């Protein structure tokens, strides 16, 4: 009569932190997902938030870029937030 106790393996749940950051102003019309992601500084983040505010006040639908603006985070987390330069420049350039 064997009475072996199953050994319980403790599976550590790791937070999924993919190596990839995300582009917070991604615009698939200017760059592909595989484009190199750049680091975002506090200053650049502030510029993006500023551009969001300006875009939101634009009368034209095209200039507002609601989908992109809606995806811009309120708070900057350098561990997960980055930008593609192409996306940044396109977004930051307002009329
Ligand atoms: Zn992008």
Decide which of 60 and 9 is more confident. 60
Average pLDDT over residues 71-76: 96
The label of the residue with tokens 């034209």 reads 60
The whole-number pLDDT of residue 16 equals 46
State the Cα–Cα distance between residues 57 and 77, nearest whole angstrom.
Answer: 26
pLDDT digits (tens, 9 = 90+) for 13-64: 554 444 578 999 999 888 886 788 999 999 999 999 999 999 999 999 889 9
Q: How far, in Å, from the CA of 92 to the mean position of ligand 1?
A: 12
The pLDDT value given to residue 31: 87
CA nearest to 54, candidates 68, 42, 40: 68
The predicted structure's pLDDT at residue 93: 82
The arrangement of strands across the sheet holding 22-23 comes to 22-23, 81-83, 38-39
Q: Cα of 62 to ligand 1 centre, how many Å?
A: 18
Ligand 1: centre distance to CA 45 (Å): 14
Residue 13: its pLDDT value, please?
53
């Amino acid at each position: 009569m064997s009475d072996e106790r199953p050994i319980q393996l403790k599976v550590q749940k790791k937070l999924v932190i993919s190596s990839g950051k995300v582009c917070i102003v991604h615009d698939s019309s200017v760059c592909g997902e595989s484009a190199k992601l750049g680091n975002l500084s506090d200053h650049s983040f502030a510029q993006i938030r500023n551009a969001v505010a300006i875009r939101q006040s634009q009368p034209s639908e095209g200039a507002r870029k609601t989908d992109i603006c809606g995806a811009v985070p309120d708070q900057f987390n350098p561990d997960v937030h980055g930008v593609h330069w192409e996306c940044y420049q396109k977004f930051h350039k307002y009329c």
